[in-house]
Amino acid sequence: MAGTGPGVGPVRARRNLRWVAAGVLAVCLGGLGAALLYGNLSNAQTVITVKRTVYRDQVITAADLGVTSAVPAAGVETVPSGRIDDAVGRTALYDLAEGSLLSPRAYGEAAVEVGSARLGLRLAAGRIPSAPMPPGTRVLLVPVGRDGGDPPEGASVTGRIATVASTLPDGASIVDVTIAGQEVERVARLAANDQLVLVRLAGEG
């Protein structure tokens, strides 16, 4: 009968040994993978992440931040999720990219250099460039006359964008700028009288 001849038994035995060896290897690899997965999960931390880009000098809001579970790489500083209230309302010290993990060094108190001042401007449509201007962009604040009249006395004032401009429903824009401290009062009055045009200067350095 088939299968009873000499040598059939040893061939089957060798095949069985190969299957057994393959099974043992699969079990070992599965166990190693499970161990690595368990190790990663056990080292995971619940940390704060940046949900949308926040530019330098902008105030961080609750909508800018989220919470995620992550295993930070060695040397990467993170902020525990329980400290999210500490970050909200603080100022971004450098640009925070969307999707990145928040660093404790990324936020703090707003820094205004000695001799400088920061003020918010409301500029009508057409009096500020429509293209986005990131914080640090060099600008010129130009005094203009009202209703085509003569411009007010005083030279134009150079400054830098402090926050990204936001657009109001009526088309006007709100933007914070940093200028020399001695010019802040005059610029504030010009802005209140709707007598300013903001011009973007070449370069951002």
Reduced to 3 states (helix: H, G, I; strand: E, B; else coil), residue 22 is helix
The whole-angstrom separation of Cα 172 and Cα 126 is 8
* Interior/surface letters 179-191, b for 16+ CB within 10 angstroms, e for the rest: beeebbebbbebb
pLDDT at 51: 96
The answer to whether residue 76 scores a pLDDT higher than 80 is: yes
Q: Can you tell me the distance from the alpha carbon of 41 to that of 19, in angstroms, rounded to the nearest whole number?
A: 33
User: Is residue 125's pLDDT more than 80?
Assistant: yes
The answer on pLDDT for 167 being more than 80 is yes
The Cα 189–Cα 196 span in angstroms is 10
The tens digit of pLDDT for each residue in 24-42 reads: 676 666 655 554 544 454 5
**What are the domain boundaries of the chain?**
45-108, 116-200
% helix, strand, coil for the chain, step of 5: 30, 25, 45
The matching CATH number, chosen from 1.10.8.590, 3.30.930.10, 3.40.50.2300, 3.90.1210.10, for 45-108 is 3.90.1210.10
Note the pLDDT tens digit of each residue in 82-119.
999 989 988 888 899 999 999 988 888 777 777 899 99
pTM equals 0.53
